[in-house]
Amino acid sequence: MTLNRIPAYIEVVTHGDDPPVTGSVTAVEADGVVGTAIRRGYRVEPTEHGVLVLRRPTARIVVELRPVCRPAPTRSQAQDLSLLAGHRSAHLRARPEGLLITAGIARIPPAAARRLLGRGWVGCLTVQDGEPVSVSVAGRVALALRQHRTRSTHPRGWHFAADNPHGPQVVGRDRHGGRLYDGSSRAVCSCGWSQFAERRPQAAHAARQHRLDSVIAALSP
C-alpha cells in the first residue's frame, strides 16, 4: 500500500498574535480542512490565484491554503475534471501501461491521470488498484477559475449622438458638438454571464466578484 503524500496546498495557520505555522497538506487533507471550516461557520475567501483564506473572526484563527500548482488546467484536463466531478464511483486501476482512472465506461490514461494526481486536482488516500478517487477542492477551484474567465468591455467613450438613433439624444444646448459620452461597460464571463455597469471600474468589480462567487459555489457542490 502506497499512501498518497503528494502536496496540494501549503497551509499557513495563524492563531491570534502567534507566529504563523506552515506545513503542506495533500488534496484529501485539504478537502477535510475546507469541509470542517465550512461546517464550523468559517468565512471562505478565495482569491483569483486559487488561494483559499478561511477565517473564524471570533476565534482569530486564519487558515490560508496556497495551491502548490497554478490552478490553470488545460482544456483536456478541465474535461477530465468535469467528467470525474459528475461521477460518484471513479477509481484507480492498475494496468500494464500504468495507473489509470476509470469512471463508468470512461477512462483517463496513465500520463493524464498522473498529472491530475500530481497537481492535487484529484484526491485519493492511497495510490493503488481499486482506490476511489474524486475531484478535490483544489481541482474544483482550478476548474471554476477556468470556467469563469471574466473581463470588462471597453467603454464607448465620446461618440456622435447621430451615430446611434436608438441612444440618448442631445437635448437643450449642445456643448459637445453633437457628441455624447458613454462610459458604460459590461462585465462578461466565458460561462455566458454578463452584467451592465455605468462605469468600467464597477464592471471590473462585478466581473471579479462573479469569478470569486463561482469558486465559492464550487466548494460546496
Interface ranges with Zn ion (CB under 5 A):
148, 189, 191, 193
Residue 52 or 189: the one with the smaller Cβ distance to Zn ion is 189
Q: Which H or E run includes 214? A: helix 200-219
Residue 15 or 149: the one with the smaller Cβ distance to Zn ion is 149
Return the closest-CA partner of residue 12 out of 25, 4, 3, 21.
21
Q: Which H or E run includes 83? A: helix 75-85
Residue 55 or 193: the one with the smaller Cβ distance to Zn ion is 193
Residue 92 or 189: the one with the smaller Cβ distance to Zn ion is 189
Residue 115 or 148: the one with the smaller Cβ distance to Zn ion is 148
Q: What is the per-residue DSSP string for 37-62?
A: HHHTT-EEEE-TTS-EEEEEGGGTEE
3-class DSSP state of 32: helix
| Least distance to Zn ion, CB of residue 188, Å | 9
| Least distance to Zn ion, CB of residue 94, Å | 38
Residue 78 or 191: the one with the smaller Cβ distance to Zn ion is 191
Contacts of 108 (CB under 8 A, 6+ apart): 80, 83, 84, 100, 101, 102, 116
Beta bridge partners of 90: 103, 133
Residue 22 phi, psi dihedral angles, 5° rounding: -115, 140
| Least distance to Zn ion, CB of residue 216, Å | 13
- Give CA–CA dist 156/148, Å, rounded: 25
| Least distance to Zn ion, CB of residue 146, Å | 10
- Give CA–CA dist 137/5, Å, rounded: 16
| Least distance to Zn ion, CB of residue 145, Å | 10
| Least distance to Zn ion, CB of residue 210, Å | 6
Q: What is the DSSP letter of 63?
A: E
